[in-house]
Structure 1
Amino acid sequence: MQIIILENAEQVASGAAQWVAEVIKQKTNPVLGLATGSTPISLYKQLVEYHQKGQLSFENVTTFNLDEYHNIEAENPQSYRTFMKQNLFDHVNIDQEKTYLPTCRNDQNPRVQGLAYEEQIKNAGGVDLQILGIGANGHIGFNEPTSSLASRTRIKTLTKQTLQDNSRLFKKDEYQPTMAMTMGIATILDARYVLLMATGKNKAAAVKQMITGPVTAMCPASALQMHENAIILIDKDAASELTEQEYFQWANQEHQKINQTFGLFI
């Protein structure tokens, strides 16, 4: 893991935007894995700004989202398709026919849909850079605690904590889905690079468990310890429970010298 501790959430978004922009510029046909939730919104805002300034083109980009609610229409205001359109897709020159989400209706077999999504990722050449957030309970995507570390795209029942955390996004009388389709942990680990963003003290315990705890299904994000190219961008609040902060900051300073010589992706 490359642990990068920054001052605040704004710097985390800026740092993540630099990594995403770099892979888009380096690859002829870049494939991005995208996340939803509050944390990546500021990242997408910066990417849109890059595009509007003529600094970044999404013309050849293919995207695969981590997850989507079960049995939700793409046009539903609460769908992750709508989220991505509002925060990124409608504001850049991406071909929306090449933006994929793991959808599944009530009349579709989730196992079949999961296998089909895995095949789509494979046919695109695999994910070059997977963006991740982390839940307060350590989930990545909708891989809740107890998820198999070998899991693939499938349907998951959301925990009460996740439902409570996400309830702020729904109106009081609005239906909130309790299940979702999600990339599996093994699917995420297949990405060439993963970039996890975490901000705020409410994520500090999960960040500590992810970085310094045992690799365990009870903290799905801890599986990133086994990834060859995991970049963890966190602000000081999210890093507040780490006792090794001084080493992480020093190691990052040293690593920056390599990046300046050979680029972010070496």
Structure 2
Amino acid sequence: MEVVVVESPDEAAGIVADIYTSLLTRRPDAVLGLATGSTPLPVYKELIRRHREEGLSFARARAFLLDEYVGLPVGHPERYREFIRNELEQHVDFTADAILGPGDLDVPPTEAGGAYEEAIGQAGGVDLQILGIGTDGHLAFNMPMSSLASRTRLKTLTPRTRQDNARFFGGDIGQVPTQCLTQGLGTILDSRHAVMLGFGRGKAQAVREAVEGPLSSRWPASVLQMHPHATIVVDEDAASQLSFVDYYRSTYAGKPAGQGL
């Protein structure tokens, strides 16, 4: 696990976009793992800029989403598939059907997990997975006490999660779906490179537990300690509770020239 501490989300966006650029230059047909929410937005904006101004292409790439609500109709503005369409896909050159979410398969929700795992496997696995971290340490919809070996599956959303997400549904918790499909922690561990972003003081405890705490289902993001190639990019506020922050700074500053993340 490599921890990179930056001044701002915009600085993080440039660093993470460099990872995408390097991968897509080496492997134009790379498989990308895409996250939703506000955390990855600066990265997506930088990727769009590089596509428009520098010719970064996604034309041969494929992508898989981390999670999706169950029960929202196709085209609903709060579907995560729509988020990716609006915030990234329509601004770059992904081909039609290059992006797949766990809710896009023509199977019942109870069967979607296995089918999604099969689709990822048939694509050759995820080369680069971007992640955000919740204040309680969750990754995707793997909430505290999720199995560290879990696979893509149907899950019931907790009342707290539905209440937290009600702001996206006009404040009406009754409009928030009660179930979701999510990649599991074990699925995320299968990615070849996982990049987790964390910004703001509200994420500081979760980042500390994920990076320096014990491996525990209480803090699902701690599973990344087991990932063979995990990069954690956090701003100063999110890094404020880390005990080894000086070590992280010095090792990153001392990386050999040309050695990327």
TM-score by length of 2: 0.95
| 2:233 partner letter | L
- Could you say what secondary structure the match of 2:175 adopts? coil
- Could you say what secondary structure the match of 1:163 adopts? helix
Pair 1:151-2:150 in alignment: yes
Pair 1:95-2:95 in alignment: yes
1:104 is displaced (CA, Å) by: 7.0
Cα distance between partner residues in 2 of 1:157 and 1:83: 21
Q: Which residue of 2 aligns with 1:239?
A: 239
Q: Which residue of 1 aligns with 2:137?
A: 138
Q: Which residue of 2 aligns with 1:64?
A: 64
Cα distance between partner residues in 1 of 2:96 and 2:217: 34
Cα distance between partner residues in 2 of 1:160 and 1:205: 22
Q: CA RMSD in A?
A: 1.7
Cα distance between partner residues in 2 of 1:104 and 1:91: 21
Alignment of 1:67-82 (within 5 A): 67-82=67-82
Pair 1:37-2:33 in alignment: no
- Could you say what secondary structure the match of 1:36 adopts? coil
Cα distance between partner residues in 1 of 2:63 and 2:21: 14
1:157 is displaced (CA, Å) by: 2.0
Alignment of 1:114-133 (within 5 A): 114-133=113-132
Is residue 31–residue 129 contact of structure 1 (8 Å, CA) maintained in 2?
yes
Count residues with an aligned counterpart. Answer: 260
| 2:115 partner letter | A
What are the superposed Cα offsets for residues 61-107 of structure 1, whole Å, 9 maximum, x if unpaired? Answer: 100000000122230011011101110001111013110000179x9
- Could you say what secondary structure the match of 2:55 adopts? coil
1:108 is displaced (CA, Å) by: 4.8
Cα distance between partner residues in 2 of 1:249 and 1:168: 37
**How has the CA–CA distance of structure 1 residues 209 and 160 changed in structure 2, closer, same or farther, with 3 Å as cutoff?**
farther
**How has the CA–CA distance of structure 1 residues 264 and 96 changed in structure 2, closer, same or farther, with 3 Å as cutoff?**
farther
User: What's the % identity of the aligned pairs?
Assistant: 42
Cα distance between partner residues in 2 of 1:18 and 1:169: 31
Pair 1:209-2:213 in alignment: no
1:130 is displaced (CA, Å) by: 0.4
75-84 or 49-58, which moves further after superposition? 49-58
Q: Which residue of 2 aligns with 1:110?
A: 109
Is residue 28–residue 60 contact of structure 2 (8 Å, CA) maintained in 1?
yes
Cα distance between partner residues in 1 of 2:202 and 2:175: 26
Q: Which residue of 1 aligns with 2:22?
A: 22
- Could you say what secondary structure the match of 2:254 adopts? helix
133-142 or 167-176, which moves further after superposition? 167-176
Q: Which residue of 2 aligns with 1:12?
A: 12
Cα distance between partner residues in 2 of 1:152 and 1:65: 14
Pair 1:163-2:186 in alignment: no
| 1:35 partner letter | A
Cα distance between partner residues in 2 of 1:162 and 1:169: 12
**How has the CA–CA distance of structure 1 residues 28 and 92 changed in structure 2, closer, same or farther, with 3 Å as cutoff?**
closer
Q: Which residue of 1 aligns with 2:195?
A: 195
Is residue 113–residue 152 contact of structure 2 (8 Å, CA) maintained in 1?
yes
Cα distance between partner residues in 2 of 1:28 and 1:104: 24
- Could you say what secondary structure the match of 1:264 adopts? coil
Q: 5+ unaligned residues in a row in structure 1: which ranges?
A: none
**How has the CA–CA distance of structure 1 residues 78 and 227 changed in structure 2, closer, same or farther, with 3 Å as cutoff?**
same
Q: Which residue of 1 aligns with 2:180?
A: 180
Q: Which residue of 2 aligns with 1:264?
A: 260
Cα distance between partner residues in 2 of 1:176 and 1:41: 22
- Could you say what secondary structure the match of 1:131 adopts? strand
177-186 or 20-29, which moves further after superposition? 20-29
Is residue 89–residue 96 contact of structure 1 (8 Å, CA) maintained in 2?
no
**How has the CA–CA distance of structure 1 residues 161 and 238 changed in structure 2, closer, same or farther, with 3 Å as cutoff?**
farther
1:250 is displaced (CA, Å) by: 0.5
